[in-house]
């Protein structure tokens, strides 16, 4: 039987493609044919000013309310501008480098593929895309709308390796102070900080009138703890390690994790932030459609 389009973007297939650029292009080629124009992206008309009516102007542009007040004809002038500027905030701390024994991609590889696929879709529609790396050093790529900008994003992410301690909260606070224009913000992170301390920083971005979506990305083994016996867990962000009897600890761990995820979901959605929980075993198409879906 012929290979289906879905199999082209299966995470196992993607894992065999060494180049991040080619992985993202494979995803985009598989999704573009069936994806209608995203409601998140695209141009809108924003009112700029009035001017006197002139012969040949369209009647529908006449401001009749102003005519009633002044007894003069004025037409509305508009500027076409990007409705929402897309800025992708990508967690690149050490924990994002985790790859389970049965996982096709690490969290960073999955997140970077998603990031570039999302950026490509936006740039194809003429929207501007910026990138902020949430980690040590706080690197930002300013938004641009040309397709050549995608090459800059590809090069940035292909040359990066996740490392260092999670600084999600501090990084998000910097973003809140630096963004001057209303934007669509897509945050991709495993949220592995103490408790839910990053949530207030995310809420601050929403309070500033940005449209915020959080992609909470975890590995399935982080969700299920499918190990047996005594296991030494070593931190990817420092030199700490912890020995756990997994069979004894599993139920408490999974229960606590699910409770934490539910708390994140409830707190963020109540603040008008879209929350998307996914694992690296899911296809990039699945996660993309989750982000782009309005309801």
Higher model confidence: residue 124 or residue 111?
A: 111
- Chain length of the chain: 295
Mean pLDDT for 18-45 is 60
> The sheet that has 139-144: what strands, in order across it?
139-144, 129-134, 85-91, 183-189, 211-218, 274-279
The C-alpha atoms of residue 292 and residue 295 are separated, in whole angstroms, by: 9
List, in order of start, the domains of the chain with CATH numbers: 5-39+83-292 (3.40.50.410), 44-81 (no CATH)
Tell me: the pLDDT tens digits for 226-247?
999 999 998 888 888 999 999 9
Burial 178-198 (b: 16+ CB within 10 A, else e): ebeeebbbbbbbbbbbeeeeb
The pLDDT of residue 5: 39
Buried b (16+ CB within 10 A) or exposed e, 55-69: eeeeeeeebeeeeee
Cα angle vertex 164, ends 158, 166, to 5°?
105
Task: Report pLDDT for 92.
Answer: 94
Q: How far apart are CA 60 and CA 45, in angstroms?
A: 14
pLDDT tens digits for range 141-173: 999 988 899 999 999 999 899 998 878 888 899
Structure confidence at residue 38 (pLDDT)? 52
Q: Which of 87, 42, 90, 79 is nearest to 180 (CA)?
A: 87
pLDDT tens-digit map of 81-117 = 444 589 999 999 999 999 999 888 899 999 999 999 9
What's the whole-model pTM score?
Answer: 0.79
Query: 131 - beta bridge partners?
Result: 88, 141
Strand ranges in 16-137 using DSSP code E only, listed in sequence order? 43-52, 74-82, 85-91, 129-134
Task: Please answer whether residues 125 and 150 qualify as being in contact, where contact means their C-beta atoms are separated by less than 8 angstroms.
Answer: no
């Amino acid at each position: 039987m012929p290979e289906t389009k879905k199999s082209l973007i299966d995470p196992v297939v993607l894992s065999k493609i060494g180049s991040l650029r080619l992985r993202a292009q494979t995803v985009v080629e598989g999704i573009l044919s069936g994806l209608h124009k995203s409601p998140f992206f695209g141009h809108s008309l924003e009112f700029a000013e009035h001017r006197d009516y002139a012969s040949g102007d369209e009647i529908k542009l006449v401001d009749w309310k102003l005519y009633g007040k002044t007894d003069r004809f004025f037409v509305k002038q508009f500027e076409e501008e990007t409705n929402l500027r897309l800025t992708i905030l990508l967690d690149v701390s050490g924990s994002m480098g985790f790859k389970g024994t049965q996982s096709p991609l690490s969290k960073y590889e999955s997140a970077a593929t998603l990031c570039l696929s999302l950026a490509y879709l936006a740039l194809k529609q003429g929207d501007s895309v910026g990138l902020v790396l949430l980690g040590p050093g706080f690197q930002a790529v300013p938004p641009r709308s040309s397709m050549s900008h995608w090459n800059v994003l590809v090069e940035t992410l292909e040359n990066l390796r996740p490392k260092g301690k999670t600084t999600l909260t501090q990084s998000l606070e910097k973003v809140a102070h630096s963004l001057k224009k209303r934007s669509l913000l897509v945050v991709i992170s495993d949220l592995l900080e103490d408790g839910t301390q990053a949530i207030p920083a995310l809420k601050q971005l929403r309070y500033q009138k940005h449209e915020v979506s959080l992609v909470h990305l975890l590995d399935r083994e982080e969700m299920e703890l499918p190990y047996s016996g005594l296991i030494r867990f070593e931190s990817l962000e420092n030199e700490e390690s912890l020995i756990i009897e997994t069979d004894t600890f599993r139920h408490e761990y999974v229960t606590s994790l699910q409770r934490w995820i539910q708390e994140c979901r409830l707190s963020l959605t109540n603040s008008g932030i879209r929350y998307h929980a996914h694992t690296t075993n899911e296809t990039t198409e699945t996660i993309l459609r989750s982000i782009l879906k309005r309801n």
